[in-house]
Structure 1
Amino acid sequence: MEHETLFPLLCETANGNKTAFAELYNLTSAQMYAVALKMLKRPELADEAIQDAYIKIWHNAGQYQRGKGTVFTWMLSIARYRALDLMRYHKVRNEVDLSEDTHSPVSTDESALSDAELQKLEACMGELEPSQRQAIHLAYVNGLSHQEVEAHMASPLGTIKSWIRRGLQSLQRCLSL
């Protein structure tokens, strides 16, 4: 779906096509909201983060670079950074449990991922090394910065960045099969 659907819609969005932008929103907003809600724990903050993220996506669609990742990854990083900003501003970090979720590697609302997609994601997460899985979980689910993951895991920053980068590459390969 990524290459055939999201990329052309983002290109049209960059050209100011509001219909393409609306379709891009319809295809991605549930997943992006689920990530923001997981990070922020408060629906009103997740709504704000996603609204701000889509405004930024509308204004910066032409800046997307295919060689640096998928359209959805680019969009999700915008939402994630906005959620991090809101976490810092509202000081909700104290409400976030930093322990890794042992029940499910990634918890999302049911509308965000189908059962099959969630099972595949969980299987792919299960194939990662424990350090990679925990670093990705802390960064992308709990919304911690690399420096905060470093402090939590008591490992050097370069190692944390490598675990996250290699883990995400492994996930991307696994999910594309």
Structure 2
Amino acid sequence: MKIKETPLKDCYIIEPTIIEDERGYFFEKFNERKFEELTGMNGHFVQDNISKSSYGVIRGVHLQQGEHAQAKLVSCLEGKVWDVAVDMREDSPTFGKWFGIELTAENKVQLYVPRGFGHGFSVLSETAIFSYKCDNFYHKESERGILYNDPDLNIDWKIDPSDAMLSEKDKKLSSFIIK
């Protein structure tokens, strides 16, 4: 497992070491001890979530705040997504910046999204199955979000805006205001 820094503070790309032979492949998807040793971040997860979506679906930008904030380790199990993390920690040197990466079933890359970050993804393949490992339990009252097409963030979702499919809840999210 290789861990690479992103341009955002405390947000990491995790690339597996894949062992292949005529039978198929094997890789260690996550190792809490290695992760903590290489990043200094807590890697203990308590909840796993899976979503399946069609091409053009945008899920996000979501986060939980306060004592219910969540760090996430995300990956694409089937298909291809454009995954986006937004640093929403006001005291961070990368506050208001976003980072995007293509996660696919083929590349097996994961993204670690720390607490205090917004997160979302768009589906680039016909369908995609997406995995989220969370270090805190979901708490509806602590959930917040930013409108996917916020002009201050100017996120490139890698799909034509006319193809974007959002939940009713995501259509009503507020804008991100950089102070």
Does TM, normalized by the shorter one, top 0.5?
A: no
Greater relative contact order (Cα < 8 A, sep 6+): 2
* TM class, shorter-length: under 0.3
TM-score by length of 1: 0.24
- Structure with greater proportional helix content: 1
- Structure with greater proportional strand content: 2
